Amino acid sequence: MAKERLAIVGGDAAGMSAASSARRRDPDLEIVAFERGPYTSYSACGIPYFVGGLVEDADRLISRSPDEHRANGIDVRTRCDVVAIDLGARRLTVRSAAGEEAQEPFDQLVVATGAEAVPPPIPGAEAIEPAQTVDAAQRLRAALERGGRTGRNAVVIGAGYIGLEMAEALVDRGLNVTMIEMAAQVMATLDADMAEHAQDAAEGHGVRVVLGAAVEEIVLDEAGAPVAVRTAEDRFEADHVVIGTGSKPAVKLAEAAGLRVGDSGALRVDDRQRCPGHDGVFAAGDCTESHHRVLGSDVNIQLGTHANKQGRIAGINATGGDDRFPGVIGTAVSKIFRYEIGRTGIGEREAQQAGIEVVSATIKDRTRAGYYPGAGPIWVKLVAAPDSGRLLGGQIVGVEGAAKRIDVLATAVWAGLPVHELALLDLSYAPPFSGVYDPLLIAARATAKLL
Amino acid sequence: MAKERLAIVGGDAAGMSAASSARRRDPDLEIVAFERGPYTSYSACGIPYFVGGLVEDADRLISRSPDEHRANGIDVRTRCDVVAIDLGARRLTVRSAAGEEAQEPFDQLVVATGAEAVPPPIPGAEAIEPAQTVDAAQRLRAALERGGRTGRNAVVIGAGYIGLEMAEALVDRGLNVTMIEMAAQVMATLDADMAEHAQDAAEGHGVRVVLGAAVEEIVLDEAGAPVAVRTAEDRFEADHVVIGTGSKPAVKLAEAAGLRVGDSGALRVDDRQRCPGHDGVFAAGDCTESHHRVLGSDVNIQLGTHANKQGRIAGINATGGDDRFPGVIGTAVSKIFRYEIGRTGIGEREAQQAGIEVVSATIKDRTRAGYYPGAGPIWVKLVAAPDSGRLLGGQIVGVEGAAKRIDVLATAVWAGLPVHELALLDLSYAPPFSGVYDPLLIAARATAKLL
């Protein structure tokens, strides 16, 4: 009998996690991974730090190179574009960098095609390469190091967490940065009251934040380089333009092959990362849906942490294992200038949109005992079910030491703890880490009072 | 009808929390609090930082002064020693600083007498004042500032977390510090393998750590000032001696009055902080037992966080409310030189002592993404039930950002999450805060593999 063959489409976190876990479980399996770009297993989350110069060398962002994967017995084909999947014949059509097409058979398949940037539909946007991959980030950084016409002005379009992280990177490079956001607040994943603190942090470091403004054009010079960004009311000079208007799951290839796409726009999978109706076909990472345990619906959340877990599970199940992905609760964290920002579960706005009735309280406190050096502000907002008091979500903004507390709330949301129980939970205390009542306990008590 | 009168014995965290919550609930109640020392509501946990000079002014350690409490309608009597409680007649015998005794009636009583240092039973120990109160800490700091014979050498007896925090304070003051500990490890609340990292941190900052050595004498000069500390095998020159050999619940007064003391040596209370068999009599804080939810037994854990919660609950229940203290799980955190150290639930040693079978795994990881500046080591040890996989405890040592993760484990222990569920929990990820798998997830997976 010929060897079984596992093919993987996409060589980043989800795909290579699948390849690696399959390799560990089955040393005889033939494993081939096709990646469009030159790199595998890189940290897209690290790109802003490379652009800003906090991370000097792009290689640091690569957790495992193609050659390292090859040494592990995984046949990695970089610069190879999978252009078609034939689920019936169980083969891929793959186009090499030289433009040659070949047929590649598979027994099991993992689709890990990730996400693709959604540029704003305006003139000039086509000239701006999204800095989503390591090679694109290298080109952006080279451009920043060369400078532009004046070398001093940058515009970031979109004020989500990636836009904000990129704004910080550009400030770190000494540029004057303007952020333009269509919505009335930065960071749409936060409630407006909490997002204001993130905006304060950006403005406090000199970023000009323009809200409620739709970009109409990226003005280019004859060479196709950016000159300015134009909204209905303003024009902002821009030697450099960074687009951070989000990404959508890259599902065209899989959809054309007949895999189902859910309401979120991402591939449907069950809790074993299987594509329903297609034996031996799995999907994982940014291109897939995940079950949201609080909302009770399927969502698309593009995060490396999910991609790694789902990829591993796909690899386990593709090799005869039986592992399940338990779903997500929307936990995320980022560092935005002087503040750390975390969120988990649902916020007030999401609750309203989902028709879930909630109570909510926000408190302001200090990250350390008041007398301990380095204490700074922390805001904690909790959202709970009005009947049971069950914690449904939390948002945290504050100075160093604030954000990782979101994991405590994530654990409480996950376990279904009510806020009145959280208010008396045995959390740690010492002056370098909190006041005698941790801010989370204070927030839980404030919320419990509303029940 | 005359006003009801609530008397409180002890004016620190538990006592004044009780007074304050009773005041909020009942504006008409007469509330009197008797405190032996000159201060109320101070942070004993902050004393090492005041001794070391990180906190310049002792007043910063006082969260609410006697006058502030008085302005809140609480009759605070400082420098007043309660020498007897007559539960039948419902009155206290109180001795003033001038030595005069008076009878003070009460309707409800809260006993919050705290803990008292247990000096080693050796010659010379009587000359060393324990630095447990703000005024004692002021005297110690004054002595350090004056210097000693040479002004250069200090010995800390006892290597628990307070001993280690005091050692750091003395190093901060430029002293040569030797720690002498009878046990074979520092920090008895940690398993030996985790305690080694704390010892490394102390030694890495120049502290000489002497383990397995019983102190036999504190050698004094004619004036009663320390000269040296002598063990069976060595003699250590010492201009200053700090004793950190622990404290015991201060229960003599309450026990003499007929209140029950449990196996832990602390006052027995029910989950409403009531002293069983005595209506209207409550106890809270370091002098009481707490129910340990993992061990299933009653323990004495002296921590400001419990004292504050229990005091508040006592005050609520003393004024006709019905609030319950849900118990503890042994969560604690401290900063020891370059490492942060946290623990919750039970460790391997405690499990063994309690006859609880466990599995345990320890992992070493980094606090941030490897490429992000400031990443450093973190060790996570988990202890779980071998059948259910339920998390029973965790210990964490690591650089900045490590220790507050213990609250995630505390929440998981509290909620009874199994390690295989924890391993896939939706914890936050961004490069400044962790690798793509948080160290807690990695530790949970390592532990789950043992099931």
A435 to chain B nearest CA, in Å? 9
Q: How far apart are CA B26 and CA B139, in angstroms?
A: 39
- Is B186 in contact with B209 (CB distance < 8 Å)? yes
* Residue B1, min C-alpha distance to chain A (Å): 33
Q: Which among A369, A424, A428 is the nearest to B342, CB-wise? A: A428
Q: Six-digit token pair at A337?
A: 């200038």
Q: Residue A218: left (phi > 0), alpha (psi -120 to 50), or beta?
A: beta
- Alpha-carbon distance B340 to B352, whole Å? 25
Helix (H, G, I), strand (E, B) or coil at B62: strand
Which residues of B fall within a CB distance of 8 Å from A333? 428-430, 433
The pair of structure tokens assigned to B61 is: 């350690």
Tell the burial category of B368 from Cβ atoms under 10 Å away from its Cβ (0-12, 13-18, 19+). Answer: buried
pLDDT score at A146: 87
Return d(Cα B383, Cα A155) in angstroms, integer: 50
Going by C-beta distance under 8 Å and a sequence separation of 6 or more, which residues neighbour residue A319?
A6, A21, A22, A25, A26, A29, A108
- Residue B126 CA to chain centroid, in angstroms? 23
Which residue in B54, B309, B369 is closest to A373 by CB distance? B54
Contact A428 B405 (CB under 8 A): no
Please give the structure tokens belonging to residue A16: 């290579």
Nearest to B261 by CA among B245, B246, B283: B283
Confidence tier at B42 by pLDDT (50, 70, 90) = confident
- In words, the CATH class of domain B341-448 is alpha beta
Q: Which two tokens stand for residue B8?
A: 């409180």
Residue A408: closest CA among chain B residues belongs to which residue? B408
Q: How far apart are CA B440 and CA B394, in angstroms?
A: 10
Task: Find the CB nearest A426 among B331, B426, B437.
Answer: B331
A430 vs B331: CB contact, 8 Å cut-off? no
Is A45 annotated as catalytic? yes
Give the pLDDT confidence score for residue B441 in this predicted structure. Answer: 98
Average pLDDT, chain B: 96
Task: Write down the residue that tokens 């605070």 correspond to.
Answer: B76
Whether the predicted pLDDT of B193 surpasses 60: yes
Give yes or no on whether B5-116+248-318 and B119-245 have one common fold. Answer: yes
CB distance B178 to B149 below 8 Å: no
With a pLDDT cut of 90, the percent of chain B lying above it is 95
Q: Which helix (H) or strand (E) holds A116?
A: strand A115-117
pLDDT (tens digit, 9 = 90+) per residue, B390-421?
999 999 999 999 989 999 999 999 999 999 99
Task: Tell me the chain B residues in contact with residue A302 when contact means C-beta distances shorter than 8 Å.
Answer: none
Minimal CA separation from B317 to chain A, in Å: 16
* CB-count exposure of residue B362 (10 Å: 0-12, 13-18, 19+): middle
Q: What is the pLDDT of residue B149?
A: 66
Q: Which of A45, A328, A412 sits opposite B411 (nearest CB)?
A: A412
Given pLDDT bands bounded at 50, 70 and 90, which one contains residue B1?
A: low
- Show the CA angle centred on residue B315, arms to residues B313 and B318, nearest 5°: 105
Which residue in chain B is spatially nearest to A60 when comparing CA positions?
A: B371
- For residue A305, what are its two tokens? 């942490």
Q: What's the pLDDT band for B3 if we cut at 50, 70, 90?
A: confident
Task: Output phi, psi for B288, to 5 deg.
Answer: -115, 165
Contact B308 A60 (CB under 8 A): no
Identify the closest residue of chain B to A432 by CA–CA distance. Answer: B335
Query: Domain A5-116+248-318 belongs to what topology?
Result: FAD/NAD(P)-binding domain (3.50.50)
Inter-chain CB proximity A437 and B49 less than 8 Å: no
Domain boundaries defined on chain A: 5-116+248-318, 119-245, 341-448
- How many angstroms separate the CA atoms of B287 and B14, rounded? 10
Q: Which fold has domain A119-245?
A: FAD/NAD(P)-binding domain (3.50.50)
pLDDT average, residue stretch B9-27: 97
- Locate the DSSP E strands across B87-225: 91-95, 101-105, 108-111, 115-117, 153-157, 176-180, 208-210, 215-220
DSSP classification of residue B63: S
Residues of chain A found within 8 Å of residue B430, distances taken between Cβ atoms: 45, 332-335
> Under an 8 A CB cutoff, do B305 and A414 touch?
no
Task: Give the largest Cα separation in chain A, rounded.
Answer: 72
Report how far residue A59's alpha carbon sits from residue A80's, in angstroms, rounded to the nearest whole number: 21
Exposure letters A145-171 (e unless 16+ CB within 10 A, then b): eeebeeeebbbbbbbbbbbbbbbbbbb
- Beta-bridged to residue A383, according to DSSP, are A360, A393
| Inter-chain touch A433–B303, beta carbons under 8 Å | no
Q: How far is CA A171 from the centre of its chain?
A: 22
Confidence label for B201 from pLDDT (cuts 50, 70 and 90): very high
Query: pLDDT digits over B90-147, tens only?
Result: 999 999 999 999 999 999 999 999 999 998 999 999 999 998 899 999 999 999 998 7
Q: Which of A46, A412, A417 minimises the CB distance to B371? A: A46
pLDDT of A30:
98
**Helical spans, DSSP H, in A214-364:** 252-256, 304-318, 348-353
Beta bridge partners of A305: none
Which residues neighbour B419 within 8 Å (Cβ) at sequence distance 6 or greater? B382, B384, B389, B390, B391, B444, B445, B447, B448, B451
Taking contacts as CB-CB distances below 8 angstroms, the residues of chain A near B342 are: 428
Cβ contacts (< 8 Å) between B44 and chain A: which residues? Answer: none
Residue from B286, B404, B421 whose CB has the most chain A CBs within 10 Å, to mutate? B404
CB-CB neighbors (< 8 A) of B428 in chain A: 305, 331-333, 342, 344, 403-404, 406-407, 410
Pick from A19, A13, A45, A93: nearest CA to A287: A13
Annotate B365-401 with DSSP letters as a single string.
Answer: EESS-TTSTT--EEEEEEEE-TTT-BEEEEEEEESTT
* Dihedral angle sign, alpha carbons of residues B40, B41, B42, B44: positive
User: B41 vs chain A: nearest CA distance in angstroms?
Assistant: 11
Q: What b/e readout covers A418-450, taking b as 16+ CB neighbours within 10 angstroms? A: bbbbbbbbbbbbbbbbbbbbbbbbbbbbbbbee
First to last CA, chain A: 65
pLDDT at B424 over 60: yes
| DSSP code at position B126 | G
Separation CA B229–CA B350 (nearest Å):
32
A2–chain B nearest CA distance, Å? 32
> How crowded is the C-beta side of A368, counted as CA atoms within 13 Å?
20
In this prediction, residue B148 carries a pLDDT of 64
Which residues of chain A are within 8 Å of residue B172 when distances are taken between CB atoms? none
A245-264 pLDDT, tens digit per residue, is 999 999 999 999 999 999 99
**In which residue ranges of chain A is pLDDT below 50?**
none
How far is A96 from A110, CA to CA, in rounded Å?
19
User: Which residues, 6+ apart, have CB-to-CB distance to A125 below 8 Å?
Assistant: A119, A218, A243
Q: In this complex, do B436 and A305 lie within 8 Å of one another by their Cβ atoms?
A: yes
- Test mutation, A165, A382, A421, A426, chain B, max B CBs within 10 A: A426
Give the residue-averaged pLDDT of B349-369.
Answer: 96
Helices (H), A331-383: 348-353
| Residue type at position A237 | E
| Residue B314 scores a pLDDT above 90 | yes
C-alpha A6/C-alpha B203 separation (Å) is 52
Q: Taking CB atoms and an 8 Å cutoff, what residues of chain B touch A404?
A: 401, 404-405, 428, 433-434
C-beta of residue B300 within 8 angstroms of C-beta of residue B249: yes
Which chain B residues are closer than 8 Å to A371 by Cβ? 43, 46, 49, 55, 60-61
Distance from CA of A224 to the nearest CA of B (A): 34
Distance in angstroms (rounded) separating the CA atoms of residues A208 and A198: 13
Distance from C-alpha of A174 to C-alpha of A152, rounded to nearest angstrom? 8
d(CA B274, CA B265): 17
- Determine, for residues A304 and B429 on separate chains, whether the beta-carbon distance falls below 8 Å: yes
- From B411's Cα to the closest Cα of chain A, the distance in A is 6
